[in-house]
């Protein structure tokens, strides 16, 4: 049983928690099912998270291979800070890199400076991209058709605040009550605005409209570029992982869409006669692509299956709406149907050509037979 909030008890104001930066890279068409023991000098393990207070015993989720890199000490927006980095490897040819920085601030708006993080010697974005390139270079023998140079990554920022939270008088209040008191400031943090009053009422409400609360001391607010989590620190990981998987899914759907665009453009050129490739080669390539995309789609669906936890499923549903994942799926399904139509058209053309050749051969043999009979030649 979750303990009730102890209302009326004073606690020092200010906020403590961590900022989590999530980066998803599409690095290859797929990954061989072979054991990886080490990566960047660190032991590869299976990702796992502790049992959540909301999760039943049968709760299960996709568990990728991962490595934790050594902790760094860097100078960040508020001074010296420890940096925790984790790399996850997914079988569909994706890499997810998370960077976590603890913080302690007096005012919520101080978190705005953690967007587009800059260290004293360079940007986090550049460092993470270099890290992804190192991963691909070290694992290139494991990847199927690695994509180099890397395409643009999908990045997302999560601000995690430790609960319980307090009101203006320092008294502990529920996360939902705190949200209503600070909605405009939360909107400013999520939209990267230092002055919350430059936002219109409509924008402040829209950017914070997708929020969920399960217990009195937890809250999740989802925007398209950033999110806010309020919870006990021990409970952060599950929600963060849901964001990470959704971000990976968006990255892979974008990659999937690019592959289909290239395939459709090539198919149009092939079938319109602009290409010198044979119909047999065209059919072979289209067939291989259809198989690859079917496998890709299955693996993509598998990584976002959550069994046994409806609250995490609700969080994922909100993220999916923000990321327009259903629209991405619909657009890709349309392109797949178009590709299938082109495949069947190419197959029919090939069958027609084959039938014409067969019929021509039969006619030629018949004519030869008639000539032989008329000339009285017996073989």
pLDDT (tens digit per residue) in 76-96: 888 899 999 999 999 889 999
End-to-end CA distance of the chain: 98
Report the range of poorest mean pLDDT among 161-170, 241-250, 335-344, 360-369: 335-344
Report the range of poorest mean pLDDT among 134-138, 218-222, 275-279: 275-279
Better pLDDT: 293 or 187: 187
pTM of the full predicted structure?
0.85
Report residue 353's pLDDT band, with 50, 70 and 90 as the boundaries: confident
pLDDT(139) > 90: yes
Question: Residue 378: what pLDDT?
Answer: 52
pLDDT(282) > 80: no
Return all residues near 323 (Cβ < 8 A) that are at least 6 apart: 224, 246, 247, 249, 250
Question: Residue 54: what pLDDT?
Answer: 54
Question: Residue 275: what pLDDT?
Answer: 64
pLDDT(307) > 80: no
Q: Identify the three-state secondary structure at position 220.
A: strand
Give percent of the chain above pLDDT 90.
52
pLDDT(221) > 90: yes
pLDDT(152) > 70: yes
Question: Residue 53: what pLDDT?
Answer: 55
pLDDT(10) > 60: no
Q: Are strands 154-162 and 226-231 parallel, antiparallel or unpaired?
A: parallel
Helix or strand (DSSP H, E) at 155: strand 154-162
Return all residues near 1 (Cβ < 8 A) that are at least 6 apart: none
pLDDT(68) > 90: yes
Helices (H), the chain: 124-138, 175-181, 183-191, 201-207, 236-271, 279-302, 310-323, 325-375
Better pLDDT: 133 or 10: 133
Query: From CA 142, how far away is CA 181, in angstroms rounded?
Result: 51
Question: Residue 295: what pLDDT?
Answer: 77
pLDDT(272) > 90: no
Q: Identify the three-state secondary structure at position 99.
A: strand
pLDDT(290) > 60: yes
**If 0-12 CB within 10 Å is exposed, 13-18 middle and 19+ buried, where does residue 236 land?**
buried
| Mean pLDDT of the region 297-303 | 76
Contacts of 203-208 with C-beta under 8 Å, sequence gap 24+, read: 208/179, 208/183
| Mean pLDDT of the region 188-212 | 96
Q: Are 152 and 24 in contact (CB under 8 A)?
A: no
On the CB side of 98, CA atoms within 13 Å amount to 24
Report residue 351's pLDDT band, with 50, 70 and 90 as the boundaries: low
Give 49's DSSP letter: -
Give 4's DSSP letter: P
Question: Residue 2: what pLDDT?
Answer: 40
| Mean pLDDT of the region 120-148 | 92
Report residue 308's pLDDT band, with 50, 70 and 90 as the boundaries: low
| Mean pLDDT of the region 156-162 | 98
Report the range of poorest mean pLDDT among 11-25, 112-126, 192-206, 334-348: 334-348
């Amino acid at each position: 049983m979750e303990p009730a909030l102890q209302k009326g008890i004073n606690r020092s104001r200010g906020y403590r928690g961590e900022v989590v930066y999530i980066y998803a890279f599409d690095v290859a068409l797929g990954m061989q099912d072979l054991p990886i023991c080490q990566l960047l000098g660190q032991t590869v393990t299976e990702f796992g998270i502790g049992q959540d207070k909301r999760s039943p015993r049968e709760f299960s989720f996709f568990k990728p291979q991962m490595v934790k890199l050594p902790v760094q000490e860097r100078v960040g927006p508020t001074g010296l800070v420890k940096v925790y980095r984790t790399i996850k490897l997914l079988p569909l040819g994706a890499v997810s890199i998370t960077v976590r920085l603890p913080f302690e601030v007096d005012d919520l708006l101080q978190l705005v400076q953690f967007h587009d993080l800059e260290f004293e010697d360079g940007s986090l974005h550049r460092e993470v991209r270099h890290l992804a390139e190192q991963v691909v270079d070290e694992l290139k023998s494991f990847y199927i058709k690695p994509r180099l140079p890397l395409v643009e990554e999908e990045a997302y920022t999560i601000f995690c605040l430790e609960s319980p939270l307090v009101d203006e008088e320092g008294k502990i209040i529920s996360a939902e009550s705190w949200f209503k008191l600070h909605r405009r400031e939360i909107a400013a943090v999520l939209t990267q605005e230092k002055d919350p009053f430059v936002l219109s009422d409509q924008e402040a409400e829209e950017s914070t409209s997708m929020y969920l609360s399960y217990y009195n001391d937890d809250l999740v607010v989802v925007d398209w570029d950033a999110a806010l989590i309020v919870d006990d620190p021990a409970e952060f990981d599950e929600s963060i992982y849901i964001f990470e998987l959704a971000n990976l899914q968006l990255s892979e759907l974008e990659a999937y869409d690019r592959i289909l665009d290239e395939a459709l453009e090539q198919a149009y050129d092939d079938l319109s006669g602009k290409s010198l490739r044979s119909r047999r080669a065209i059919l072979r390539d289209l067939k291989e692509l259809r198989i690859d995309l079917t496998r890709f789609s299955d693996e993509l669906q598998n990584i976002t299956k959550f069994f046994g936890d409806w609250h995490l499923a609700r969080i994922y549903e909100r993220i999916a709406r923000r990321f327009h994942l259903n629209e991405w799926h619909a657009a890709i399904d349309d392109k797949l149907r178009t590709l299938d139509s082109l495949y069947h058209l190419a197959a029919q053309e090939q069958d027609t050509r084959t039938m014409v050749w067969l019929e021509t051969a039969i006619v030629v043999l018949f004519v030869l037979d008639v000539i032989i009979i008329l000339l009285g030649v017996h073989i």
